[in-house]
Amino acid sequence: MQLLDGKKTAEDIKNEIAAEVQSIKDAGGKVPHLAAVIVGTDGASLTYVGSKVRSCQQIGFDSTLVSLPEDITEEALLAKIKELNEDDALDGYIVQLPLPKHIDEQKILMAIDPIKDVDGFHPTNFGKMALEMDTFIPATPFGIMQLLERYKIDTAGKHTVVIGRSHIVGRPMSILMSRKGNPGDSTVTLTHSRTKNIEEFTRNADIIITALGVPNYLKADMVKDGVVVIDVGITRVDDASHPKGYIITGDVDFDGVSKKASYITPVPGGVGPMTIAMLLQNTLLARKMRNAK
């Protein structure tokens, strides 16, 4: 069994981006500029956005944090989105989800200019991805594809089972794994909470990508020997014996499944760090695309 070390791979990617940024600076060019919009004071969102800002500083990007109050109106947020779309200093920006309940998330995501949508959530970019055109790939699926590529995992002709059908991870993964090329050329089964006898699919899978959000869901008796397991799940589970009072757990029963897997991602330290690295990669791409224009 080999660990798919997302932490190390993400650092490698950040170092590669930092070298490109230095080359841009040396040539007198404008470095990429990423903005993050956060509404309210959700602890997990603040932590995540904070790590994005620190990563920007680490690799030489310009970054802007736009903090807005929890009670901001939908109209006021849409006005801010319009302002960011028209700000020529910005190459890309993200709106941190979830948003407060009184705001229509879909309406906000639709308002983002696709050429600045470095999260890759806009239907224009999602459609381009499905049609195998150059575009921004959602950061978590992009990170998974990079892990598979950099660890030279053969995916052609393999049976990939994706657990979870979210627009952020599950559905794009099902598309990406079936596209031409490697990683890709895989036969994909997309399973979800309504799938009956899910273990019949997972036991026949060469590759399992799970983004269900149910701690320790995937057990050793649900997989075959030699399976490749990508665990996107990340759930805070109460644990009185731990100094923090909780532990971070993935969808996979790691102790059991790792004994049968050929490759597996840890949680934490697997997919999570890759997500931020690929958001930075998308921002660099946005800068290059604007330069080309």
The catalytic site residues sit at 52, 96, 119
Distances (CA, A) of 214 to 48, 71, 193, 198, 252: 21, 31, 11, 14, 9
Neighbours of 152 (CB within 10 A): 8
Q: Could you please report the per-residue DSSP string of 91-158?
A: SEEEEPSPPPTTS-HHHHHHHS-GGGBTT--SHHHHHHHHTT-S-PPPHHHHHHHHHHHHTT---TT-
Q: For 164, left (φ over 0), alpha (ψ -120 to 50), or beta?
A: left
Residue 166 annotated in ligand binding: yes
Residues in a beta bridge with 2? 263
Three-state DSSP at 273 gives helix
Terminal CA-CA length for the chain: 46
Residue 23 annotated in ligand binding: no
Residue 230 has phi, psi (to 5 degrees) of -110, 115
Residue 193 annotated in ligand binding: no
- Per-residue tokens: 4: 């798919």
Q: Nearest-CA neighbor of 156 among 190, 183, 188, 129? A: 183
Q: Nearest-CA neighbor of 188 among 123, 233, 141, 243? A: 141
Q: Which amino acid is at 30?
A: K
From the annotation, which residues make up the binding site for NADP(+)?
Answer: 164-166, 234
From the annotation, which residues make up the binding site?
Answer: 164-166, 234
